[in-house]
Amino acid sequence: MTVDQRIIVPLDVPSTTAAIALVEALPQVSFWKVGLELFISAGPGLLDELRARQKRIFLDLKLHDIPNTMAGACAAAGRCGVSLLTVHAAAGKEALVAAQAAAIAGAESAGVAPPVVVAVTLLTSVDSKALALELKIPLSPTDYALQMALLANDSGLGGVVCSPHEASQLRRFLPADFVLVCPGVRPTWADRQDQRRTLTPAQAIQAGATCLVVGRPITSAPDPAAAFRRICEECTAP
């Protein structure tokens, strides 16, 4: 993939109308993320509209439930022709195995390519203090992310969502084709906002990220197209 194909831009808007307006304003973006708010508001019809425009879709629902429910949801998502689908690694191996099998079966029944199911290791808004004091997990964020990534790989999933800070370590322990999707990526000229564990886009790719999720630095910029182009150029600069 070229750099521009590796950058996923979130459709963090409340309606189909707003989503399509953003897609049309940034025709150079080929990969879009649909999260919970928009999916609940717009429904699967939005996914059909994006596919009709030849866009790849990252369906970021972060599914976390019992195995049967995970399987049913992933089968439905698989039928929608999305490229990436998120589940929570913390759901456990049985649920992850069921999710992976169901996503493939759903896609096959609809005659579309199956999604790469990626497991969320640890939300980028959770730092070491929150992990220890609030979640009572006696591991560093990096060690916890590694354990969740190993679980995802052992369960047959195709990748994980992780902080760019974890990417280099995960690359050492996981297959070369294992997908690492890194949100919380911020150029030096953008506000970090609520992302605590972040790197620049160029640093994240150098660390081993497969795809980068870059939202507000692009969508909130005075010139979104110029911001997208600047990020792509920074990622390919020597």
Report, as residue numbers or ranges, the catalytic residues: 62
CA atoms within 13 A on the CB side of 174: 29
Contact 19, 13 (CB under 8 A): yes
DSSP secondary structure of 11-43 = ---SSHHHHHHHHHH-TT--EEEEEHHHHHHH-
Q: Measured between alpha carbons, how far is 101 from 106 in angstroms, rounded to an integer?
A: 9
**Helix 67-78 / helix 93-110 crossing angle, nearest 10 deg:** 30
The two tokens of residue 204 are: 């994240």
Alpha helices in the chain (DSSP H): 3-6, 16-25, 36-42, 44-52, 67-78, 93-110, 128-133, 141-154, 164-173, 201-207, 216-219, 224-236
CA distances to 54, 97, 163 from 124, in Å: 30, 24, 6
Q: Measured between alpha carbons, how far is 57 from 80 in angstroms, rounded to an integer?
A: 10
